[in-house]
Structure 1
Amino acid sequence: MASNMVSNDRDAARALFARFDSLRVAERIPGMAVVLLRDTTVLLAQGFGFADVAREIPVTPDTPFDVASVAKPISAVVALRLVEAGQLDLDRPMRRYRDFNEFCAAARGDGGIFFGDYACENDQLTLRHVLSMTANGTPGTRFWYNPPSFSWASRPMAEVAGQTFSDLVDSLVFRPAGMQHAARRHRRRPLPPELAAALATPYHVDSAGQVVPSDPPPPQGDGAAGGVIASANDVARFDIALTSGRLLAPASRASLWTPTRTPSGAMLPYGLGWFLATYQGRSLAWHTGLWEGRYSALYLKVLNASRDEQLTLILLANSEGLRWPSRLDEAAIERSAFATAFLDAFPARRTTH
């Protein structure tokens, strides 16, 4: 029966990947890498299209991409590893960390959609609020997706550990997870030459409707919201290490995927570094990644209690073609054609008695 299950899984995966390639072409994505797992077993890993169109370099599951905000689940693991080591307190006020008061003043001065109501001027705001996207308004009372705030979460982690954030990611995640084609980059930390040479070229659709190369993303600081270059196989290695307990204790791992609750008990659609939702009776955790006009990504998990019901999808693309419309106050995985194709291809298994 187990061999039949594996065979059926792989048949469904092959059919799903053919559907993904059709969606890729429709969305005009030059290149895309896909990995599908059940529990810690890779069912199928494949590349579609080109990492570099002009040179006709094909995408493979080992092609590195800028995963953009898919870095946030990795950053959350770093935070919880420091919590487990007794170095970091998620409930310590942000104002107690070095330079945060200056950041707060500058952010409030800039205002806009991210900082117009950013509640950083007293001790109520904590790192937990920042990591759970509940830092706007009265902290902990509503969800507002705020990448610039999340990015600053790297500072407390580096401060308490006495290391750069990128070094923490390398030592606490990349190396223990065996992520062979992954690295951090920012304005003071260039990619290793071999990884830079293999990086998928970013593309966008220009005003004439042509798919053309994009400029590289602008230089960034050593922040927690992005900065990760990785292959689809390396995101899968991260997922396997997380699932198998090599990165976090079970209670810490569960806290990643526990929805934040308001003081009144209302459940919000974000945990620690992950979007959360129930879709057709299934518990989902995911994160998107987007560099507008350059890269996009989707990392989606089905979190059912039974291990043989736990599925993971990893999609990395060298254009923004994986994105879907979503407001900053909502989590709308059902609008992703790629996500719904995956969930339809692998429906919940019915138990028999």
Structure 2
Amino acid sequence: MPARRPFARLLPACFAILLLAGCAGQAVREPAPLRGAALDREVERLMQAAHVPGLALAVIEDGRVVHLKAYGARDLEQRLPLTTDTVMYGASITKGQFAYAVMSLVESGRLDLDRPIAQYLPKPLPEYEKYADLAGDERWRKLTPRMLLSHTPGFANFRFFTPEGGYDPNGKLRFHFEPGTRYAYSGEGINLMQFVIEVGLGIDVAELMQRQVYDRFGMTRTSLVWREDFAANLAIGYDPQNKPLGHKKRGAVRAAGSMDTSIADQAAFLAGLARGEGLSAASKAELLRPQIAIDSVQQFPTLLTDATQDNRGIALSAALGWLTYREPQGQAWAKGGHDDGTNNLALCVADGRRCMVILSNSSNAEGLFKYLADATLGPTCLPWFWNGYIPYDHPEWREPAARAQPHPACAPLPRP
């Protein structure tokens, strides 16, 4: 490993003391979050440095949107500006909002988080064509909604991914570990939860999301499938070299990530979640509480078993559809979204009193997430290395060797 990273082995004791009490009893003055023109300048500076064509940002304080702005272009070739109503691909932030909608079914008594899914389905899961690969493995009977929503079913992210993170177009769905025993991010699990709701409960997930989320929060530019009225103000995705990738017009509902949306809509949802609207206090607490501790070195590839204690100090855990952890500001929860030409992040800290959400049309935007989180919310313990949010000016952390010595949570970000 590069010589400039020896501190990565020194973390546990002093960081815990520094964060929670202050080393040697000395208070640490934290820089104030940026707002107004100062925040605009910082966003624009970072976008230029990291070659991000378009980025939209919202900041929420005490359940109220205090900053809502779009920066850069939605279409470089046509020189069209990104706006707060521009439709962008939401990717996996869909999962967090799906989990919110699922909790409404739990609250109404339609669904029990700990009841095996076998009790909801009219026939055994392997008898459905989509899940025929599980025939002969009775572990599917152990699966519960809690396991599916907390990414502990034992599946790969998607069946066509190998354990090493490669692509196998002929991959079959199978269990890679005993359900409920450890965390491994799984879009397959989320989509199976959708299947259980639709087939077992007879509830259309698109209608559920429309009623419980989009209509509730006035999200008029959001849908789980493509709508033709989106075309007039649509973001084009860009690869790391700013080559245009277009925008996929998704025609099938996928709870794991088919949502198109706008920054204005995402700000409305996150502000509503922070206020606790639409769910009882108990249901919101269950949605966001730690379900299982996470000790993996990085989130992807999902099935690698390399472990670390670097995130133990912040109690990094899976919630239901969300990630959660603790920091000096209080409990934090987050949900990211990633695809070619799309990087997004919703993050709340201080027990939900301060939040931000980022939507981008760039494969480069994740390199800004740690800096933007600190700029908008104050210094945070966002586990950027675990998430793969490698800062744009630290490319060496993308090298495979970095996995052998991961960056500790809440460690000062090393300067290049």
Q: Same fold (TM over 0.5)?
A: yes
- Partner amino acid, structure 2, of 1:242: L
2:152 is matched with 134
1:323 is matched with 366
* Partner SS, residue 177 of structure 1: coil
- Partner amino acid, structure 2, of 1:166: A
> How far has the Cα of 1:241 moved from its partner?
2.4
CA distance in 1 between counterparts of 2:140 and 2:238 reads 43
Does structure 2 conserve the Cα–Cα contact (< 8 Å) formed by 1:12 and 1:345? no
Percent identity (aligned): 27
2:125 is matched with 100
1:25 is matched with 48
Q: Find out whether 1:201 has 2:201 as its counterpart.
A: no
For structure 1, list consecutive stretches of 5 or more residues without a partner in the other structure. Answer: 1-7, 110-118, 186-190, 325-333, 348-353
> How far has the Cα of 1:319 moved from its partner?
1.4
CA deviations on 1:146-178 (whole Å, 9 max, x unpaired) are: 122212211122235423211111111100111
Q: Which 4+ stretches in 1 moved above 6 angstroms? A: none
Does structure 2 conserve the Cα–Cα contact (< 8 Å) formed by 1:158 and 1:168? no
1:313 is matched with 356
Residue correspondence of structure 1 range 242-261 to structure 2 within 5 A: 242-261=273-292
1:342 is matched with 376
1:271 is matched with 319
For structure 2, list consecutive stretches of 5 or more residues without a partner in the other structure. Answer: 1-30, 155-176, 294-311, 382-416
Does structure 2 conserve the Cα–Cα contact (< 8 Å) formed by 1:153 and 1:223? no
> How far has the Cα of 1:197 moved from its partner?
2.8
* Partner SS, residue 153 of structure 1: helix
CA distance in 1 between counterparts of 2:265 and 2:74 reads 17
Does structure 1 conserve the Cα–Cα contact (< 8 Å) formed by 2:287 and 2:320? yes
Asked which structure has the greater CA Rg, the reply is: 2
Number of equivalent positions: 305
Does structure 2 conserve the Cα–Cα contact (< 8 Å) formed by 1:299 and 1:312? yes
Aligned in 2, Cα 1:214/1:108: closer, same or farther, shift over 3 Å? Answer: farther
Q: Find out whether 1:298 has 2:298 as its counterpart.
A: no
Aligned in 2, Cα 1:282/1:107: closer, same or farther, shift over 3 Å? Answer: farther
CA distance in 1 between counterparts of 2:204 and 2:232 reads 25
> How far has the Cα of 1:280 moved from its partner?
4.5
RMSD (Å) for aligned C-alpha atoms: 2.9
2:227 is matched with 192
1:116 is matched with none
- Partner amino acid, structure 1, of 2:327: Y
Does structure 2 conserve the Cα–Cα contact (< 8 Å) formed by 1:152 and 1:223? no
CA distance in 1 between counterparts of 2:337 and 2:102 reads 20
Does structure 2 conserve the Cα–Cα contact (< 8 Å) formed by 1:39 and 1:311? yes
From 45, 65, 69, the counterpart of 1:46: 69
> How far has the Cα of 1:218 moved from its partner?
7.7
* Partner SS, residue 23 of structure 1: helix
Q: Find out whether 1:224 has 2:255 as its counterpart.
A: yes
- Partner amino acid, structure 2, of 1:322: A
From 177, 180, 193, the counterpart of 2:217: 177
Residue correspondence of structure 1 range 57-136 to structure 2 within 5 A: 57-96=80-119, 97=121, 100-101=125-126, 102=128, 103-106=130-133, 121-136=139-154
CA distance in 2 between counterparts of 1:41 and 1:79 reads 24
> How far has the Cα of 1:123 moved from its partner?
2.2
* Partner SS, residue 285 of structure 1: strand
TM-score (norm 2): 0.66
* Partner SS, residue 214 of structure 2: helix
Q: Which is further off, 224-233 or 147-156?
A: 147-156
CA distance in 1 between counterparts of 2:274 and 2:369 reads 27
Does structure 2 conserve the Cα–Cα contact (< 8 Å) formed by 1:20 and 1:338? yes
Residue correspondence of structure 1 range 234-249 to structure 2 within 5 A: 234-249=265-280
- Partner amino acid, structure 2, of 1:257: L
2:296 is matched with none
Does structure 2 conserve the Cα–Cα contact (< 8 Å) formed by 1:177 and 1:246? no
CA distance in 2 between counterparts of 1:151 and 1:303 reads 31
- Partner amino acid, structure 2, of 1:278: R
- Partner amino acid, structure 1, of 2:268: R
Aligned in 2, Cα 1:220/1:11: closer, same or farther, shift over 3 Å? Answer: same
- Partner amino acid, structure 1, of 2:141: D
* Partner SS, residue 171 of structure 1: helix
Aligned in 2, Cα 1:283/1:120: closer, same or farther, shift over 3 Å? Answer: farther
2:337 is matched with 289
